[in-house]
Amino acid sequence: MTSTAAELLEVLWGRASTAPASASQLRVMLVLEHHEGINLRTLADALGSTPPSTSRLCDRLQAAGFVEREVSPADRREVRLCLSGRGRAFLSDLRARRERALRSVLEQMPAAERLALVQGLEAFCAAAAAQIQDDAADDPRGQTA
Protein backbone atom coordinates (compact mmCIF):
# COMPACT_ATOMS: atom_id res chain seq x y z
CA MET A 1 0.00 0.00 0.00
CA THR A 2 2.75 2.47 0.89
CA SER A 3 4.61 1.93 -2.37
CA THR A 4 1.36 2.44 -4.32
CA ALA A 5 0.72 5.68 -2.43
CA ALA A 6 4.30 6.84 -3.06
CA GLU A 7 3.99 6.02 -6.78
CA LEU A 8 0.67 7.87 -7.08
CA LEU A 9 2.13 10.86 -5.29
CA GLU A 10 5.06 10.79 -7.69
CA VAL A 11 2.61 10.80 -10.63
CA LEU A 12 0.79 13.80 -9.13
CA TRP A 13 4.10 15.59 -8.57
CA GLY A 14 5.12 14.86 -12.15
CA ARG A 15 1.87 16.24 -13.53
CA ALA A 16 2.31 19.41 -11.49
CA SER A 17 5.84 19.84 -12.77
CA THR A 18 6.22 21.64 -16.04
CA ALA A 19 9.73 22.18 -14.81
CA PRO A 20 12.68 23.06 -16.96
CA ALA A 21 14.75 21.22 -14.33
CA SER A 22 15.36 17.46 -14.20
CA ALA A 23 14.73 15.44 -11.06
CA SER A 24 18.47 15.54 -10.28
CA GLN A 25 18.61 19.29 -10.78
CA LEU A 26 15.56 19.69 -8.55
CA ARG A 27 17.32 17.72 -5.80
CA VAL A 28 20.30 20.08 -6.08
CA MET A 29 18.01 23.08 -5.72
CA LEU A 30 16.25 21.60 -2.69
CA VAL A 31 19.54 20.85 -0.94
CA LEU A 32 20.81 24.38 -1.67
CA GLU A 33 17.58 25.84 -0.37
CA HIS A 34 18.21 24.20 3.01
CA HIS A 35 22.02 24.50 3.06
CA GLU A 36 22.70 27.91 1.56
CA GLY A 37 26.32 28.54 0.61
CA ILE A 38 27.68 24.99 0.78
CA ASN A 39 30.61 23.97 -1.35
CA LEU A 40 30.56 21.49 -4.22
CA ARG A 41 32.02 18.57 -2.26
CA THR A 42 29.44 18.94 0.52
CA LEU A 43 26.65 19.15 -2.06
CA ALA A 44 27.97 16.03 -3.83
CA ASP A 45 28.05 14.16 -0.50
CA ALA A 46 24.47 15.26 0.27
CA LEU A 47 23.36 13.97 -3.13
CA GLY A 48 25.38 10.75 -2.90
CA SER A 49 27.13 11.77 -6.10
CA THR A 50 30.61 12.64 -7.31
CA PRO A 51 31.93 16.21 -7.48
CA PRO A 52 32.33 16.12 -11.31
CA SER A 53 28.70 14.97 -11.82
CA THR A 54 27.46 17.50 -9.29
CA SER A 55 29.50 20.24 -10.95
CA ARG A 56 27.87 19.48 -14.32
CA LEU A 57 24.42 19.66 -12.70
CA CYS A 58 25.32 23.01 -11.17
CA ASP A 59 26.70 24.25 -14.52
CA ARG A 60 23.31 23.58 -16.14
CA LEU A 61 21.43 25.16 -13.23
CA GLN A 62 23.68 28.21 -13.35
CA ALA A 63 23.15 28.53 -17.11
CA ALA A 64 19.38 28.41 -16.49
CA GLY A 65 19.74 31.14 -13.87
CA PHE A 66 18.69 28.96 -10.90
CA VAL A 67 22.04 28.71 -9.09
CA GLU A 68 24.81 31.20 -8.38
CA ARG A 69 28.42 30.51 -7.50
CA GLU A 70 30.24 32.80 -5.05
CA VAL A 71 33.83 32.89 -3.87
CA SER A 72 34.03 32.04 -0.17
CA PRO A 73 35.10 34.98 1.97
CA ALA A 74 37.07 32.56 4.19
CA ASP A 75 39.00 30.84 1.37
CA ARG A 76 39.20 32.35 -2.11
CA ARG A 77 39.84 28.88 -3.61
CA GLU A 78 36.47 27.63 -2.36
CA VAL A 79 33.29 28.29 -4.28
CA ARG A 80 29.97 28.42 -2.47
CA LEU A 81 26.70 27.50 -4.17
CA CYS A 82 23.48 29.43 -3.62
CA LEU A 83 20.01 29.50 -5.10
CA SER A 84 19.33 32.59 -7.16
CA GLY A 85 16.16 34.62 -6.85
CA ARG A 86 14.92 32.86 -9.98
CA GLY A 87 15.68 29.47 -8.38
CA ARG A 88 13.71 30.40 -5.26
CA ALA A 89 10.79 31.63 -7.37
CA PHE A 90 10.86 28.39 -9.37
CA LEU A 91 10.68 26.26 -6.19
CA SER A 92 7.87 28.41 -4.81
CA ASP A 93 5.87 28.04 -8.03
CA LEU A 94 6.54 24.30 -8.17
CA ARG A 95 5.31 23.87 -4.60
CA ALA A 96 2.16 25.86 -5.36
CA ARG A 97 1.40 23.67 -8.41
CA ARG A 98 2.03 20.50 -6.39
CA GLU A 99 -0.20 21.73 -3.59
CA ARG A 100 -3.04 22.43 -6.03
CA ALA A 101 -2.69 18.95 -7.54
CA LEU A 102 -2.72 17.33 -4.12
CA ARG A 103 -5.61 19.47 -2.88
CA SER A 104 -7.75 18.37 -5.84
CA VAL A 105 -7.30 14.74 -4.77
CA LEU A 106 -7.84 15.45 -1.07
CA GLU A 107 -11.10 17.29 -1.82
CA GLN A 108 -12.49 14.04 -3.23
CA MET A 109 -11.92 12.22 0.08
CA PRO A 110 -14.49 12.08 2.90
CA ALA A 111 -13.66 14.57 5.70
CA ALA A 112 -12.96 11.90 8.34
CA GLU A 113 -10.51 10.06 6.08
CA ARG A 114 -8.84 13.34 5.11
CA LEU A 115 -8.36 14.18 8.82
CA ALA A 116 -6.93 10.72 9.51
CA LEU A 117 -4.50 11.16 6.60
CA VAL A 118 -3.35 14.55 7.90
CA GLN A 119 -2.77 13.10 11.38
CA GLY A 120 -0.87 10.18 9.90
CA LEU A 121 1.27 12.48 7.77
CA GLU A 122 2.09 14.65 10.79
CA ALA A 123 3.29 11.54 12.64
CA PHE A 124 5.24 10.47 9.54
CA CYS A 125 6.96 13.88 9.31
CA ALA A 126 7.96 13.74 12.98
CA ALA A 127 9.35 10.21 12.65
CA ALA A 128 11.19 11.00 9.41
CA ALA A 129 12.73 14.17 10.86
CA ALA A 130 13.89 12.23 13.93
CA GLN A 131 15.43 9.52 11.76
CA ILE A 132 17.24 12.09 9.60
CA GLN A 133 18.58 13.76 12.76
CA ASP A 134 19.74 10.39 14.12
CA ASP A 135 21.40 9.52 10.80
CA ALA A 136 23.18 12.89 10.79
CA ALA A 137 24.41 12.35 14.37
CA ASP A 138 25.73 8.90 13.41
CA ASP A 139 27.56 10.23 10.29
CA PRO A 140 31.29 9.73 11.00
CA ARG A 141 32.19 12.70 8.83
CA GLY A 142 30.01 14.98 10.96
CA GLN A 143 28.14 16.20 7.92
CA THR A 144 24.42 16.48 7.38
CA ALA A 145 22.57 16.07 4.13
Question: Rounded mean pLDDT of 99-115?
Answer: 91
Please tell me whether residues 71 and 131 are part of one structural domain.
Answer: no
Please tell me whether residues 67 and 116 are part of one structural domain.
Answer: no
pLDDT exceeds 70 at position 34? yes
pLDDT at 140: 55
pLDDT at 57: 93
Give residue-wise pLDDT tens across range 47-98. Answer: 999 999 999 999 999 999 999 999 878 777 888 999 999 999 999 998 998 8
Distances (CA, A) of 41 to 72, 87, 138: 14, 21, 19
Q: Are 41 and 51 in contact (CB under 8 A)?
A: yes
Give residue-wise pLDDT tens across range 122-138. Answer: 999 899 888 877 776 77
Query: Which of 64, 40, 70 minimizes the C-alpha distance to 54?
Result: 40
Where does the pLDDT of residue 2 fall: very low under 50, low under 70, confident under 90, or very high at 90 and above? confident
pLDDT at 142: 47
Domain that holds residue 133: 111-139
Please tell me whether residues 98 and 129 are part of one structural domain.
Answer: no
Residues in a beta bridge with 68: 82
Tell me the C-alpha distance between 9 and 141, whole Å. Answer: 33
Whether 51 is in a domain gets the answer: yes
Which CATH number covers residue 26? 1.10.10.10
Question: Strand order of the sheet with strand 38-39?
Answer: 38-39, 79-83, 67-71
> How many domains is the chain built from?
2
Please tell me whether residues 79 and 118 are part of one structural domain.
Answer: no
Tell me the C-alpha distance between 69 and 4, whole Å. Answer: 39
Distances (CA, A) of 19 to 66, 70, 145: 12, 25, 24
Please tell me whether residues 85 and 38 are part of one structural domain.
Answer: yes
Tell me the C-alpha distance between 59 and 69, whole Å. Answer: 10
